């Protein structure tokens, strides 16, 4: 049975500590990637109810630095499910201490694959997006999957029909 993105929603809120910072006093990029990967892995597991592994990190934008002491929230949810793979979108926010207003600082797109106990890919439930943003992310996911497969040498550019439509209509 198909599932909705909110069923996989995973939210981490934590404070950035000095031991996790770079020499500029901002969160170290690798630490952020690890936290994003963990949140995405839980979202993929909630969607598939299976063992999941990271197949690729398709995109990460470090748009704004996150200073030590920030309260940071990471939100991940499945944006599309294919046969055994799932695309997970992860958004990163920090909140202002005084106003508590959140601003978006980073985002990432990960691909996870559901596997059995022997590490063999297995089928996952399909996804039915609900909100406008979920529908937009769902629509673009096949193009991103094709791009990721081309970059990893698993697909020929000539086979990427959805992606080619972007350039030649």
Ligand X SMILES: CC(C)(COP(=O)(O)OP(=O)(O)OC[C@H]1O[C@@H](n2cnc3c(N)ncnc32)[C@H](O)[C@@H]1OP(=O)(O)O)[C@@H](O)C(=O)NCCC(=O)NCCS
* Category of 100 on φ-ψ map: left (φ > 0), alpha (ψ -120 to 50) or beta: left
What secondary structure does DSSP assign to 105-163, as a single string? EEEEEEEEEEE-TTS-B-----B---SHHHHHHHHHHHHHHHHHHHHTTSS-GGG-HHH
* Category of 153 on φ-ψ map: left (φ > 0), alpha (ψ -120 to 50) or beta: left
Residues 34, 139, 152, 161: which binds ligand X (CB under 6 A)? 152
Which CB, 18 or 119, lies closer to ligand X? Answer: 119
Neighbours of 157 (CB within 10 A): 11
For residue 146, the minimal CB distance to ligand X (Å) is 9
Q: Which stretch binds ligand X (CB under 6 A): 13-21, 42-50, 79-87, 92-100?
A: 79-87
Residues 32, 42, 55, 127: which binds ligand X (CB under 6 A)? 55
Residues 84-123 that bind ligand X (CB under 6 A): 84-85, 111, 113, 115, 119, 121
- In the block, tokens 């089928």 appear at 123
Binding to ligand X by CB under 6 A, coded x per residue (else -) over 130-149, reads: ---------------x--xx
**Cβ-based neighbours of 46, under 8 Å, separated by 6 or more:** 7, 8, 9, 10
Q: Is 45 in the site for ligand X (CB under 6 A)?
A: no
For residue 150, the minimal CB distance to ligand X (Å) is 9
Which CB, 96 or 159, lies closer to ligand X? Answer: 159
Binding site for ligand X (CB under 6 A): 53-56, 82-85, 111, 113, 115, 119, 121, 145, 148-149, 152, 154
């Amino acid at each position: 049975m198909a599932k909705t993105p909110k069923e996989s929603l995973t939210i981490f809120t934590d404070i950035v500590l000095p031991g996790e910072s770079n020499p500029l006093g901002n969160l170290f990029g690798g630490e952020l990637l690890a936290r994003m990967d963990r949140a995405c892995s839980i979202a993929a597991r909630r969607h598939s109810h299976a063992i999941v592994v990271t197949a690729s990190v398709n995109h990460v934008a470090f748009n704004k630095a996150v200073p030590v002491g920030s309260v940071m929230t990471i939100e991940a949810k499945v944006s599309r499910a294919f046969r055994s793979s799932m695309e997970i979108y992860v958004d990163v926010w920090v909140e202002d201490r005084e106003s508590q207003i959140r601003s978006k600082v980073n985002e990432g797109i990960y691909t996870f694959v559901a596997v059995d106990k022997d590490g063999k890919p297995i089928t996952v439930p399909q996804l039915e997006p609900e909100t406008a943003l979920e529908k937009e992310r769902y629509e673009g996911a096949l193009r991103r999957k094709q791009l990721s497969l081309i970059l990893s040498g698993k697909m020929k550019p000539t086979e990427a029909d959805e992606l080619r439509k972007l350039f030649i209509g």
